[in-house]
Amino acid sequence: MSLGCSQGCESSIPPPSTRSDLRAHDELDHDAGDLGLVVWFGSSAALAGAYGLAVSGAMTIVTPLTLSLIKSRTGKKSRWLRAGLSLLFVIDLAFLFANLTKLQDGGWLPLTSGFIIYWLMQTWARGRPPSWRACCANKSRSATSWST
């Protein structure tokens, strides 16, 4: 289908055969990375343990953050919203506690990397000068004022 708008324009998109070659190359790199992780963990079960703990931890963190975001954006404190997200939070906690048994099998990796990233971010936030923090706080207030 031609809309008549592209006359005289050259496309920078490579031909389809080149794109499929690139996809095959990316898939090969992705498969090699997966194989490298399995070799490093020693088994695919240990890798599954790390993945399960990472996903259940992320779900547990996201649920209360979602409630906080909805309350801050809408200003509403709905009982139904709190009840629904509290139920999801209990389910998320059950998954997290069930996956803590995989800590020895490889679940330590996402926990360790999460703690290191958190520590680095807190160190960076505390190391900024007070004037920078005040500037950022004012910008974040003005960015959220559109919703209220």
The answer to whether position 17 is within a domain reads no
Q: At 32, which amino acid appears?
A: A
Average pLDDT for residues 30-42, to the nearest whole number? 74
Q: Residue 135 pLDDT > 70, yes or no?
A: no
CA distance 2 to 6: 8
Better-scored residue on pLDDT, 72 or 26? 72
Q: Residue 22 pLDDT > 70, yes or no?
A: no
Average pLDDT for residues 24-41, to the nearest whole number? 69
Counting the structural domains of the chain, the total is 1
Lowest mean pLDDT among 3-7, 14-18, 87-91, 107-111: 3-7
Q: What percent of the chain has pLDDT over 90?
A: 19
The answer to whether position 74 is within a domain reads yes
Neighbours of 24 (CB within 10 A): 10
CA distance 90 to 101: 18
The answer to whether position 31 is within a domain reads no
**pTM above 0.75?**
no
CA-wise closest residue to 37 among 24, 45, 47, 25 = 47
The answer to whether position 23 is within a domain reads no
Q: Residue 71 to residues 7, 68, 83, 143: CA-CA distances in angstroms?
A: 51, 5, 13, 16
Using 50, 70 and 90 to split pLDDT, how confident is the model at 97?
Answer: very high
Domain of residue 76 covers 44-130
Average pLDDT for residues 4-29, to the nearest whole number? 54
The answer to whether position 79 is within a domain reads yes
Mean pLDDT rounded to a whole number for the chain: 75
Average pLDDT for residues 26-38, to the nearest whole number? 68
| Cα-to-chain-centroid distance, residue 80 | 27
| Contact (Cβ atoms closer than 8 angstroms) between residue 50 and residue 41 | yes
